[in-house]
Structure 1
């Protein structure tokens, strides 16, 4: 037990809450706030006296508790090292800020570390059980109280508790030691976007204690969890009770102090509490009831709250399956919210800061937010409940470039189940998202079914961005088909029994001098020169989203993103939350227009003209010149010019266009196609080599990207007919030095992309809207991000372009004619 020898030592203990040995009383280590890469408006508000002092568990409250946040002793550790029982550690850290953060006072990564402090219990807690709570520690945690190991926990995102009563002594000061190991991206655990070092779309890691640590006195029989499941006129209350003896539950609901319902029954069983004159929860009216739950005979009593609402699927007047809230379609429009901070990384500097992002999202006219592969403190969801924001909750992913082994899969599923159990009572959460873009995904259909079995009351988005990146092929499971397209928004056609959403699009960027995390590395999916242009482009994307909702049956859109994050500069705010990068009034108007307009009558698509009949098309390039720099259009009057040194070679028949994959192509000099209607493009192609790079055979330039790509997709090692973010892919890889006949068909009437290879239908993809373009039709390259890309390395022969969708018979005839 600590006995101060000098006044300085006593003062140090009062300020830090730590036992300081008398021998070091003259100059004990002190916590110091270090300089973050950028400072937020709340950085300087953080001090040892107010390190997140707010009650951390708003859905299960008790009057008595003790916050253990503040200055702790700290040191790095070695694997297998003995716990520093009774030893003063050499550094000071401010809990609960991650060790890598400036606010922690350490600001470096540690794979293994020790935390130590002492605490004292109030006298009126005597005779009760003492619970020690950790809201989140990343990743593998061992807890010792007075030298006794009381807990071992793995998992970086869930809260857990341990009864430490039997480890307490009669001494005034109780010693608490926490050992943490965090392998970060060298381990196989769920870690979201944490990488060491952070780069690109991945960010600085957060290790160690990063949410509140606290103590609570409870009765031997107590409520450990409340599971609250709302309906339109009632809420089902399941009090999960631990401790001895059978207990009865008394639950009473209040509307601003007035009793509106009650129910009694056995603990650990669902009890239906009916509410008088139910007042539903929605983004427009986020009404919450108060709840008191008491155990008899234990006497344990807790406070909570709930909102009455339902989530589901159903058809609207246009026959499209949509996401429903309280039985009605509500277009869900919101931002991608990463939850990173330049001063606290994973941990918002204050509760006001934590709430700030949500308040701004609401002020911008959003009614939804996607919490992107991170789990926030419970108070974040409480604020979302109060403000009225629908939440899509992602499961933090495993590493994106590995096939998870069996042990990692078990860990992932265990942590996801705990994440869902901890958050199942927040009314704001309307959807669970197990996987994102193939990052650590496996058995997607089984996992979607598993999540649905854990919580059948919410929608399951089996894989956000199933059209993108490393995703497994669409399993068809879950409640949602989720398209990612940058800049987008994507145009998935709602079909079948699942709702369709644009789970990510946008990413429009603007650099703000003095407010960049890494000025040299700043990037975005489409960079704008100034705020006015950024605001205008955002409005254009939202107009497009409204059209997608009206014509394609899309139920939601998620714009990237709330704030800049490290090197990404595509936020509404700079990373430090100091600068608004758009005209927020204009953004709000655009967002509300989408929400309101999408709920009206469906908008019919444009009539699709029959197009030019015949097998020749509106332009044809047989490339039989075998000399010169012009290829004749033998059907129309748009001869193609050879660019960049493109030349001639032996063709499928006669000669062909030869290009070397580096700046060479043929330009028809005109926009041959109305790419918002139906059209087709056909060619014979031979690749000199195939690999991880893209190679485009025929495309038409749009303002930033090609409106379509008839191509070889290096990401998939397949032939494809593509829009940005969407590909109709052949099932097998092409071989080099072999001629293939490829035809891409855009059928605007059916909302499909089709790819034919050697006369046979190879793939069909649902894509509702075409991409507008007025740029030239080109042969041998594409356009992306405003730049020419994906140059073909090989030969092209017998190119045909059509202002209609070719039929199976048309393609077969064209293939036969060119054999």
Structure 2
């Protein structure tokens, strides 16, 4: 039984005994010589603090639907019969199954007692209808609810098919009243098919087998199964939509049943009536509030709501008063607004995987734990990544005060979705939005991620906005990354993914800019790794102290990106380690904190409080050295020896690794073979956090899929810039880590090209010129600070020399200012 929302966190116990009784299996097969089959908890790869608390008597016994609560319900979680299924099998009505599974843990999990992947499977159990429910005849109807089953589900009660549902992430129900018999025990059979990554359905990060950034599948029943008696005319859903402008909330009671119904909705503030409205069911009713109390992460205030029908049906719910939008702040930039004001949103990537329950948290306390820790770390937001959680997860986010970005689980990333798969994807996404539209914590819908199964991105963004105009739409998180379609310009956000980052995107005329993923700093903790040999991160640290320092450095860069670039939000990867990924604040088993949480909180709060959207003072940009020669120049005309003279300054370059000489574009040139050869100027010649330019003639001996850097400047971890050939794109580029201004043409081996990279701090752009003409530009409002040596013929990444050039370089010039287009043409002509 679920208490009214005005007393959150206190769950009734009146039906606890009943829930425990029905959680047990009441039609176990006849005993054999070895005894009847029993459920046994198997050993997971890692054990969480809650693993040992799970048993048949307490398999997630809590009320599963906080926003539509009734007093009477019966939990069907517990031990069920189980077996694999074969194509063409008929439902096992009246036939015992050989194994025992603990519902609602997916069959691949240790907690299920099965711990193997099945593509097709049977579940079976019995239940008893309490006599005081008065189900049947002219009395109550009995609903059978499944909160989530992955993926294709058919349900029989007493041999009668009562439901068929496709979709692994949304709830579905069946009225089973007419299938009941006069017998004491009523039998349920559930057939599930889950093609996992051989199908075209949304599946998130599930793969068989899991590897890298993809994880162990989670098939079958994975959220609570339960029964509920209702009136013939009853409330199926209560949608609440806050309207801050009028100080009211729209209440729409979706009612199923044979007759038209009247609705009475009453709002409470700690038991005190603060507003009410009556009217016809299935229509939005405006409930006016007395002095609305707004919901924010710092003050997550929730109103209680009681909704009654003229039929006598009554439910308890709750709502929060808040608005989300995009608008200009004092600095003239488009930013994300909460209740009409800018709030810098900062949170972790939260994937919701568990080593013992995979998709299903072992207990309700565990489900709440991750959110509590995210709040303790100082975050005000969380991105629920490629997964949909049980309703209770969102209830806790509402109560704790965490803004939620909700991803749609992706289709497979390397397959073009068929028309049928696209139609199914949109249907499932629409149902997801409808089911979750009243949780105040959810502020952003994310239909696609990094090109995984994406299609018609602009149209889908518009469709999601039409389904729910009250929230923001992030058309494609990581639109700059991976297999993403070109930026559609649609939605409310431009979302950058840069590892380790953070990126420095800038808002456009209508969209806010966000860092939808960055970070990924890793640390291995012995004894707490899912796969020690396969553990990885985007940047691995040697110890906790280094991890904390690097986290602080990334947050400081995000602070600058927020102030100077107009970035509205950042999503750090990630809350916990997940299988082979070891880049969490916690180990995967939630047993070890990898950082000092007080230090993390301080760094996090510094960003949230330090970016306010006011007119910020940008960097002071010095005028630089006039003239076309620059501050250093290397004609490479020596054609002998191991030193190249600086014809403008006094930083002669040393040839390293056997670098030599060849015929140049004019005179002789530096020759390097792509394997450890380069020229080192011996000094940090450019101040890379302000404006600068770099030019060179280059000829490639061989081109392919590898990167080749012409000129760069070392940093602590990676180069401050790269004038280069990008093997990933097969284009010439001027780059920061994660950001490339790419020329449209593909260069040819054996041909000279004049390249100029310009970093304009005033406009926040990287520009690449090829043979005197601008070929590409990219927004990158913050310079990459670097104080290492300026080098010719290689780059640096992960603290190591990389991307060695295979070819020849001539006429390198370095400038402590941004060259104009006219100056670039003059330089090329000279």
User: Which of these residues, 179, 185, 204, is aligned with residue 192 of structure 1?
Assistant: 204
Comparing 486-495 with 115-124, greater Cα deviation is found at 486-495
Distance 1:781 1:246, change over 3 A: same
Q: Which residue of the partner structure matches residue 402 of structure 2?
A: 389
- Contact 2:566/2:613 (CA < 8 Å) preserved in 1? no
3-state DSSP of counterpart to 2:46? coil
How far apart are the structure 1 equivalents of 2:114 and 2:39? 9
- Using the TM superposition, name which of 386-395 and 693-702 deviates more: 693-702
Q: Provide the residue aligned with 1:240 in structure 2.
A: 254
Q: 1:525 aligns with which of 538, 542, 564?
A: 538
Q: What's 1:156 paired with?
A: 168
For the structure 1 residues 349 and 23, does the alpha-carbon distance in structure 2 shift closer, same or farther, using more than 3 Å as the test? closer
Question: 1:308 maps to which residue?
Answer: 321
Give how far 1:600 is off.
6.8
Change (3 A) 1:249 1:814: same
Q: Say yes or no: does 1:100 pair with 2:108.
A: yes
CA contact (8 A) 1:335 1:369 kept: yes
2:126 aligned residue: 118
Provide the C-alpha distance between the structure 2 equivalents of 1:411 and 1:727, rounded to a whole number of angstroms: 35
Paired with 2:496 and 2:331, the residues of 1 have a C-alpha distance of 21
SS at match of 2:191: strand
1:243-281 residue CA offsets vs partner (Å, 9 max, x unmatched): 212111111111111111111111111111111111111
Which of the numbers 650, 653, 663 marks the counterpart of 1:637? 650
Secondary structure at the residue paired with 2:826?
helix
1:264 maps to which of 262, 278, 285: 278
Aligned to 2:97: 89
**Deviation of 1:104 (Å):** 0.7
- The offset of 1:15, in angstroms, is 7.7
Flag as ranges the 4+ runs of structure 1 deviating above 4 A.
12-15
Counterpart of 2:295 in structure 1 is 281
Does the 8 A contact of 2:331 with 2:616 survive in 1? no
- How large is the Cα RMSD of the aligned pairs? 1.7
**What is the 5 A alignment of 1:67-466?**
67-125=75-133, 126-127=135-136, 128-232=140-244, 233-296=247-310, 298-466=311-479
The whole-number CA distance in structure 2 between the counterparts of 1:24 and 1:499 is: 66
Question: 1:27 maps to which residue?
Answer: 35
3-state secondary structure, aligned to 1:645? coil
Deviation at 1:795, TM superposition (A): 2.7
Give 3-state SS (helix, strand or coil) of 1:463's partner. Answer: coil
SS in structure 1 of the partner of residue 720 of structure 2: strand
Aligned pairs for 1:661-740 within 5 A: 661-740=674-753
TM-score normalized by the length of structure 2: 0.94
Partner of 1:42: 50
Q: Is the contact between residue 250 and residue 287 of structure 2 (CA under 8 Å) also seen in structure 1?
A: yes
- Report the Cα distance in structure 1 between the residues aligned to 2:237 and 2:468, rounded to whole angstroms: 16
For residues 259 and 100 of structure 2, the distance between their equivalents in structure 1, rounded to whole angstroms, comes to: 44
Contact kept, 8 Å, 2:628 with 2:823, in 1: the verdict is yes
Residue number in structure 1 paired with 2:784: 771
Q: Out of 506, 523, 537, which is 2:550 matched to?
A: 537
User: Which residue of the partner structure matches residue 65 of structure 1?
Assistant: 73
Asked whether the 8 Å contact 2:659–2:679 carries over to 1, the reply is yes
CA deviations over 1:531-560 (Å, ceiling 9, x no partner): 222222222222222122111111111111
CA offsets 1:138-176 (integer angstroms, 9 cap, x no match): 111121222222222111111111112222222222221
Shift of residue 14 of structure 1?
Answer: 8.1
- 1:785 aligns with 798
Task: For residue 771 of structure 1, give the secondary structure of its aligned residue in structure 2.
Answer: coil
Contact 1:18 1:71 (C-alpha < 8 Å) held by counterparts: no
Q: Which runs of 5+ in 1 are unaligned?
A: 1-11
Partner residue in 2 for 1:467: 480
SS at match of 1:707: coil
2:62 corresponding residue in structure 1? 54
Aligned to 2:599: 586
**Equivalent residue pairs, number:** 805
d(CA) in 1 for partners of 2:728, 2:427:
32
Residues 77 and 112, structure 1, Cα contact 8 Å, conserved in 2: yes
For residues 745 and 25 of structure 2, the distance between their equivalents in structure 1, rounded to whole angstroms, comes to: 65
Q: Residue 98 of structure 1: CA displacement? A: 0.8
2: CA distance between counterparts of 1:742 and 1:442? 35
Alignment of 1:537-616 (within 5 A): 537-599=550-612, 601-616=614-629
**Contact 1:663–1:791 under 8 Å retained in 2:** yes
The 8 Å contact of residues 523 and 543 in structure 2, kept in 1 or not, is answered as yes
1:503-554 residue CA offsets vs partner (Å, 9 max, x unmatched):
1111111111111111122122222222222222222222222122111111
The runs of 5 or more residues in structure 2 that have no matched partner are: 1-19
CA deviations 1:546-588 (Å, max 9, x no partner) are: 1221111111111111111111111111111111111111111
The match for 2:11 is none
When residues 339 and 670 of structure 1 are mapped into structure 2, their CA distance, relative to the original with a 3 A threshold, is same
